Amino acid sequence: MINIDTPEKIDKMKNGLNNLAKGMLRPIARKYDEAEHEYPQELEVFRSMSVMGKKPKKNGDESKAKPVDDGEFKVGQNLGTVVSVEEMCWGDAALLLSLPNAGLGNAAIAAVATEEQLERFGSKWASMAITEPSSGSDSGSIQASAELDGEEWVLNGEKIFVTCADRCDVAVVWARVKGVEGSSAIKSFIVEKGTPGFKLEHLEHKLGIRASDTGTFVLNNCRIPKTNLLGGDSEKKKKTEGFKGVMKTFDNTRPMVAAMAVGVARAAIDFTREKMEEAGIKIDYSANPNNVSSVLKEFYMMEANLEAMRLLTWRAAWMADNEEENTLEASMSKAKAGRYGTLITQKCCELLGPMGYSRKYLAEKWMRDSKIMDIFEGTGQIQHLIIARNILKLTRNELK
């Protein structure tokens, strides 16, 4: 395997979060998997913290964590975030998604919001409302509408499978502006809970990540201030923060989802290794891989794929920290981690036999939890399309 030394700052954070995941998240993972939709009160200690995204600027200080110089390059917030997410998901992915103020909408606000919006919404728990009954992976087909009426936007439509729908304070809602043609019509708007015409219709009962609440929003002539257009409405913002601008949010969030898959897969591999050793199966990396048992060969392959998942994720995050275009790498990390996270957890359950199928252990839960990471934030198929378009230099219309 490839061994890459990480900065001391990252190592300290990684070790601290692993202890937190082991001591707090792992012990309550089964409890809240079974108590679906019940808010984990143990997570209230995180209320004043931010795991994803950045805090609003205060007193002129930079809200983005100052990167650490590493020779010619920088190790900053994005790499720190994916390392943090992996460790927390090793504890429990659904509980990570239940952390206050750590919604995917927070990442969008952190990346695109104006100074005034950061001041108003930067410390609020924000969900991301994109998916619709007729619009899933193709965000460009969104039908929810937004119409400017004086100093207010009027929103109508339905949003499904919204993470943190019940617990969030605000939602980042994607909608199509009436009277504007093409993908530039897609904008994102910040809608506060309690706004008239904005209703949480119901919560979903899910296969995995059951501790995380997922629901449906209905917008019926929902009026929000004109200033709630995410990123503002200046001419500069109109050119840079339209559909392409909000889609750039995924370049930050997709590596985070990849890191979630890495954390869950690692948890499954660690447990499988422990049980294999207890059964007397010796793991010997110096042995010829062609002269080992089929069980060990499967295990070594899982470890190799886990390392590839992690390195692709770190690469995408590192590029973001160094202000390099990372759309290709973000999709590569999401495609690899989403797919192989699912395969690894399934294979671990297979190798574990009855222990992999029993609710006495968490292996079956990790298998259920991992599947969503190949679906949300863009399915694996969509990631392959993005990767192909970037490599072949083709547009969305040229390669569908």
Q: What is the pTM of this model?
A: 0.89
Q: Is the confidence at residue 62, as pLDDT, over 70?
A: no
Between CA 159 and CA 175 the distance in angstroms is: 10
Q: Is the confidence at residue 8, as pLDDT, over 80?
A: yes
Is residue 273 situated within a structural domain? Answer: no
Count of alpha carbons within 13 angstroms of residue 375, beta-carbon side: 12
Highest mean pLDDT, choosing among 128-142, 169-183, 293-307: 293-307
More confident residue, 184 or 330: 330
Is residue 68 situated within a structural domain? Answer: no
* Residue 137: how many other CB atoms lie within 10 Å: 17
Q: Is the dihedral of CA 106, 108, 114, 117 positive or negative?
A: negative
Tell me how far apart the terminal alpha carbons of the chain are, to the nearest angstrom: 36
- The contacts of residue 72 (CB under 8 Å, 6+ apart) are none
More confident residue, 141 or 43: 43
More confident residue, 67 or 355: 355
Is residue 134 situated within a structural domain? Answer: yes
Closest of 232, 242, 158 to residue 202, by C-alpha: 158
Q: 153-167, 198-212, 244-258, 370-384: which range is least confident on average?
A: 244-258
Between CA 384 and CA 366 the distance in angstroms is: 25
Q: 74-88, 251-265, 374-388: which range is least confident on average?
A: 74-88
Is residue 290 situated within a structural domain? Answer: no
Between CA 181 and CA 232 the distance in angstroms is: 19
Question: Does residue 37 contact residue 51 with C-beta atoms inside 8 Å?
Answer: no
What's the residue count for the chain? 400
Question: Which 3 state secondary structure label does DSSP give 145?
Answer: strand
* Residue 285: how many other CB atoms lie within 10 Å: 9
Between CA 104 and CA 73 the distance in angstroms is: 27
Is residue 210 situated within a structural domain? Answer: yes
Q: Rg for the chain (alpha carbons), in Å?
A: 21
Q: What is the CATH number of the domain that holds 130?
A: 2.40.110.10
More confident residue, 392 or 51: 392
Mean pLDDT of 233-249: 57
Is residue 351 situated within a structural domain? Answer: no
pLDDT confidence of 56, banded at 50, 70, 90? very low
- The contacts of residue 30 (CB under 8 Å, 6+ apart) are 359, 362, 365
Note the pLDDT tens digit of each residue in 93-119. 999 999 998 888 888 888 789 999 999
- Please state the φ and ψ torsions of residue 148, each to the nearest 5 degrees: -80, 125
Give kind and range of the element (H or E) at residue 186. Answer: strand 186-192
Is residue 118 situated within a structural domain? Answer: yes
Identify the pLDDT of residue 67.
Answer: 53
Q: 142-156, 163-177, 284-298: which range is least confident on average?
A: 284-298
Domain enclosing residue 116, as ranges: 110-246
Identify the pLDDT of residue 221.
Answer: 98
Tally of domains within the chain? 1
Between CA 289 and CA 316 the distance in angstroms is: 31
Is residue 281 situated within a structural domain? Answer: no
Percent residues over pLDDT 70 in the chain: 88
- Tell me the helix, strand and coil percentages in the chain, rounded to 5: 50, 15, 35
